Structure 1
C-alpha cells in the first residue's frame, strides 16, 4: 500500500496494483522514439509495466500496523518476508503471461535490493533466486542486453511517474515534494538529449513534464481511499478501510506551456 499523509488529520491509501495500472496507461502514450525494443515485443513490455506490482494485490486487502511508528506500514518498510513473497508471487504471475515481461519484473523488483550494504536473510534469498531466474529467462527472450537494460529503465520511469502522483500532495510546490523527485526523474534517453525530465504540479489536477515524453497530454484516474487519523488504531483500521468509499484523483500529464512559470516552484 502506498500511504500519503495528506494532512495532519488525514491519510490517503493507494493500492499498489492500481498504481501499476496507471504506469501501464502512461506507457502506452510514450513517443515511439523512446522505445528501445522492436514493435513485436511492445505488448510484452507493456504487460511488465502494468503488472509489475500485481503481487501486492493480496497484501493490499489487509493493512498492517507498524507498532514502532505507530502508523500503517508504508510499502518501503513493509515486513521483508511478506513483501519478498509477494514480489515472487507477482513475478510468477507475469512470467506465465510473457517470459520477457517476467524477466523485466524480476529485474525491476530485484533492483530494490542490489547494492544494499546489508540485507535480511529473506531479502538475500529473494535476490539469489531471482538472479537464477533471470539467467534462465534471459536465454529465452529476444532482446539484446542493451535493449533489455533500456527497457527496464523505461519501465522504471513509468513506475516513478505514477508514484509521483501518489506520493506528492496534488498541487505541491517543488520544494515540498517527496525527496525522490525534487531534482527530476532518473530516466535518461539519447532521444531527449539525455536531459533529466522534470515534473511539477501547476495545480491540483495537472502535472507538466519537460522534456515531454508522450505523444500527447495524458489524463489518468487514480483510485484511492481516505481515512481520518483520529481514533485510528490496529484494531479498527481494516474495518474503516474496507468501509471507506473509493475516490478518484484526476491528473493530466501535459507539456509545458508559456504560462507555466515553473521556476516559482523551487
Structure 2
C-alpha cells in the first residue's frame, strides 16, 4: 500500500493500481529514445504487472504500531514482502518470460546493497531465475534489456511521484526521492541528465525534457481513510468501508 498522510486522514493507494498507472504512463514513451521497438510490449506488460505481488497483501492493510500509520510498501515486514515478490514474479513468468526477467531485475535492485540473510537468499534465487530466463533469449540484446529495465524503473518512479506528492506541490517541497529527478534516466536525456518532473498545478504535471510522444492524461484510484474511523473499527475495516475515488492527472509538455 502507498500511504500519504494528511491532517485527519490517510490517502491509501493499492500497489497494483499504482502499477497500472506505471503502464499507462510509459505506453506513451517515445520509441526514438530506445535502441529499437523490439520487446516493447513485453516491457509495457512488466510495467502494468510489476506489483501484482501486492494484490493479496493490499486486500487487508495492517497497522504499524511504532509509526502510528498503516504499513507502507517501504516498511512492510520483510519476510512476507520477499515471499510475495517471488510469487508475483512467478505469476508474471507464467505469462511473459521477458517481462518476468525485467521484474526480477527490478526487485533485486531494491536489495542490491543488503547483507540481510533473507535478502541474500532472495537474491540468490532470483539470480538463478534470471540465468534460466536468459536461456530463452539466445540472442538477447543486453543494451536494450538495460534500457527496458531503466524504463521500468522510470515508470515505477514517475507513478510514485504522482502518488506520494501532494497535487500541485512546489518543487522544493516534493517528496525527497524525486527533488533531483529520476534515477537511472540519464540514457533518456540528450545531455545525460536525470529526467525531471514538476507539478504545474493540482491537475497538471510536466517533465523536462519531455519523453512522451504526446500530451495525455492518466487516472489514479485511491481511498481517503479517516483516522477517527480507524480508531473506531481498525485499519482493515476502515479501509473496506471507505469509498474508492478517482483523480485525473494531465501530463503536459
Q: TM-score range by the shorter chain?
A: over 0.9
Q: Does the 8 Å CA contact 2:189/2:209 hold for their aligned counterparts?
A: no
Residues in 2 aligned to 1:234 and 1:70: alpha-carbon distance in whole angstroms: 14
> Where does structure 2 lack aligned partners over 5 or more consecutive residues?
none
Q: Does the 8 Å CA contact 2:34/2:144 hold for their aligned counterparts?
A: no
The equivalent position to 1:124 in structure 2, one of 120, 126, 133, is 120
Q: Runs of 4+ in structure 1 displaced over 3 angstroms? A: none
- Residues 132 and 175 (structure 1), Cα distance of their counterparts in 2 relative to 1, 3 Å cut: same
Residues in 1 aligned to 2:217 and 2:229: alpha-carbon distance in whole angstroms: 36
Q: Which residue of 2 aligns with 1:29?
A: 28
Residues in 1 aligned to 2:34 and 2:232: alpha-carbon distance in whole angstroms: 45
1:144 aligns with 2:131: no
Q: Compute the displacement of 1:197 (Å).
A: 1.3
> Where does structure 1 lack aligned partners over 5 or more consecutive residues?
256-266
Q: 1:14-53 alignment to 2 at 5 Å?
A: 14-36=13-35, 38-53=36-51
Residues in 1 aligned to 2:65 and 2:150: alpha-carbon distance in whole angstroms: 35
Residues in 2 aligned to 1:190 and 1:221: alpha-carbon distance in whole angstroms: 25
Q: Which residue of 2 aligns with 1:165?
A: 162
Q: 1:48-197 alignment to 2 at 5 Å?
A: 48-116=46-114, 118-119=115-116, 121-141=117-137, 142-186=139-183, 187-189=185-187, 192-197=190-195
Q: Does the 8 Å CA contact 2:49/2:92 hold for their aligned counterparts?
A: yes
Q: Does the 8 Å CA contact 1:33/1:191 hold for their aligned counterparts?
A: no
Residues in 1 aligned to 2:229 and 2:12: alpha-carbon distance in whole angstroms: 17
Residues in 2 aligned to 1:160 and 1:114: alpha-carbon distance in whole angstroms: 18
Q: Which residue of 1 aligns with 2:4?
A: 4
Q: Compute the displacement of 1:248 (Å).
A: 0.9
TM-score where L is the length of structure 1: 0.90
TM-score where L is the length of structure 2: 0.94
Q: Compute the displacement of 1:50 (Å).
A: 0.9
Residues in 2 aligned to 1:63 and 1:19: alpha-carbon distance in whole angstroms: 16
| SS across alignment from 1:225 | strand
When the two structures are aligned, how many residues end up with a matched partner? Answer: 251
Q: Compute the displacement of 1:251 (Å).
A: 0.6
For the aligned residue pairs, the C-alpha RMSD in angstroms reads 1.5
Q: Does the 8 Å CA contact 2:108/2:126 hold for their aligned counterparts?
A: yes
Q: Compute the displacement of 1:231 (Å).
A: 5.1
Q: Compute the displacement of 1:154 (Å).
A: 1.0
Q: Compute the displacement of 1:234 (Å).
A: 9.1
Deviates more, 1:136-145 or 1:153-162: 136-145
Q: Which residue of 1 aligns with 2:208?
A: 210
